[in-house]
């Protein structure tokens, strides 16, 4: 009789505990952030603190400036230069609207109709960045000069008569007028509007347009109900990228405008570099920054894109 021996039970396989990440590995993201944080501290935070202390100082360049917590500088600067503040907001707002009206059709064309010419058109949009901002503005000074082709064409069409009546131009000229400043701002900051719009429009699924067509929606209805709402992140980003630098710009107002078209950026430049009134210049800078922050916050909340910008 054969006896069957039972096999011995298998030993349980030891379960390996998950390896804990080493401390050095957990610190890698923070080490990668360190150069950017140091850059912001050295070139943004520290200058901001220095300018904040400068804005509450009193004294003169010969005697030296001391921190006396003289907050009345802010009120004095605002009460004296409030026309320049309003002019900056007005010019920047008009230029932003013009950039949107000009940039949206072009961005739409690049995203949906350009085809193989898409890259070529994008290069043409970005091409002005290869030229100095100053040179581009000086070029507009030549284009809008008295007796030039632009002034001649507008005069023959009697456009200058209407704009002169509205207070935008001075007689038979365009240069050294608000119109010239707004034209310069619009041209120089137009790419900042086109690129975010193109990026937002390119992400829209083309099948949504086909679905709208299947539901017998007209092209304008499709644009109003589908395309424009889905492109709102690009609209908001483009308007912010255009309005914020345009409101603080001083090159266009200096080269294309006159003493009657001075913006707050021109005042800050003059206070810093010519009059050497550093507390007033610093106070104007902080007032401008605070005003822009308030307007941007209200605009983002009103547009309902807090999570998209």
Range of the domain at 114: 66-127+188-303
Residue 294 lies in a domain: yes
Start-to-end C-alpha separation, the chain: 86
Q: Is residue 93 part of a domain?
A: yes
The answer as to whether 309 is a domain residue is no
The mean pLDDT of the chain is 86
Residue 231 sits in a domain whose CATH number is: 1.10.3720.10
Separation between Cα atoms, residue 92 and residue 247, nearest integer Å: 5
Structurally, how many domains does the chain consist of?
A: 1
**204-216 b/e (C-beta count within 10 Å ≥ 16 → b):** beeeebeebeeee
Q: Is the CB of residue 274 less than 8 Å from the CB of residue 65?
A: no
Contact of 297 with 236, CB cutoff 8 Å: no
Which pair of structure tokens corresponds to residue 253?
């107002």
Whether the CA torsion 282, 284, 287, 289 is positive or negative: it is negative
* Cβ contact 165:78 at 8 Å: no
**Nearest one of 240, 242, 226, 230 to 199, comparing CA atoms:** 230
Name the band, by pLDDT with cuts 50, 70 and 90, for residue 5.
low
Token pair recorded at residue 104: 């949206």
| 92 inside domain | yes
pLDDT at position 219: 84
Is the confidence at residue 12, as pLDDT, over 70?
no
Higher pLDDT, 5 or 69: 69
Contact predicate 224/136, CB 8 Å:
no
Identify the pLDDT of residue 14.
Answer: 60
In a domain, 138, yes or no: no
Instruction: Say if 27 falls within a structural domain.
Output: no
The 10 Å Cβ neighbour count of residue 126 is: 12
Q: What is the pLDDT of residue 135?
A: 92
| Angle at 181 (CA atoms; ends 261, 245), nearest 5 degrees | 100
3-class secondary structure, 178: helix
Give pLDDT tens digits for 141-192.
988 888 878 888 877 877 776 666 666 776 678 888 898 999 999 999 999 9
Specify the range with the lowest mean pLDDT, choosing from 24-38, 262-276, 285-299. 24-38
Confidence band of 7 (pLDDT split at 50, 70, 90) = low
In a domain, 32, yes or no: no
Q: Which two tokens stand for residue 293?
A: 């922050």
Least confident span in 79-93, 179-193, 212-226, 282-296: 212-226
pLDDT for 52-103, tens place per residue?
Answer: 999 999 888 788 888 889 899 999 999 999 999 999 999 999 999 999 999 9
Is 227 part of a structural domain of the chain? yes
């Amino acid at each position: 009789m054969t006896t069957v021996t039972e096999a011995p039970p298998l030993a349980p396989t030891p379960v390996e505990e998950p390896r804990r990440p080493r401390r050095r590995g957990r610190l890698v993201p923070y080490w990668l952030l360190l150069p950017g944080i140091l850059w912001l501290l050295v070139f943004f935070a520290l200058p901001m603190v220095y300018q904040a202390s400068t804005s509450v100082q009193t004294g003169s360049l010969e005697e030296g400036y001391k921190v006396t917590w003289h907050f009345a500088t802010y009120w004095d600067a605002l009460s004296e230069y409030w026309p320049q503040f309003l002019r900056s907001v007005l010019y920047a707002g008009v230029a932003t609207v013009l950039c949107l009206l000009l940039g949206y059709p072009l961005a739409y064309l690049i995203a949906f109709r350009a085809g193989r010419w898409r890259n070529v058109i994008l290069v043409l949009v970005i091409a002005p960045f290869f030229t100095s901002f100053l040179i581009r503005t000086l070029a507009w000074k030549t284009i809008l000069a008295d007796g030039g082709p632009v002034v001649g064409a507008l005069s023959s069409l009697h456009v200058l008569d209407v704009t002169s009546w509205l207070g935008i131009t001075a007689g038979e000229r365009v240069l050294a007028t608000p119109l010239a400043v707004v034209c310069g701002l619009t041209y120089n900051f137009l790419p900042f509007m086109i690129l975010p719009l193109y990026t937002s429009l390119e992400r829209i699924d083309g099948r949504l347009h086909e679905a709208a067509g299947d539901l017998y929606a007209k092209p304008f209805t499709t644009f109003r109900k589908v395309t424009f709402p889905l492109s709102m992140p690009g609209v908001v980003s483009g308007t912010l990228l255009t309005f914020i630098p345009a409101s603080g710009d001083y090159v266009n107002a200096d080269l294309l405008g006159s003493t009657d078209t001075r913006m707050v950026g021109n005042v800050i430049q003059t206070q810093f570099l010519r009059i050497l009134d550093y507390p007033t210049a610093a106070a104007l800078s902080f007032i401008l920054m605070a005003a822009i922050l308030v307007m941007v916050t209200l605009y983002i909340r009103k547009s309902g894109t807090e999570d998209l910008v």
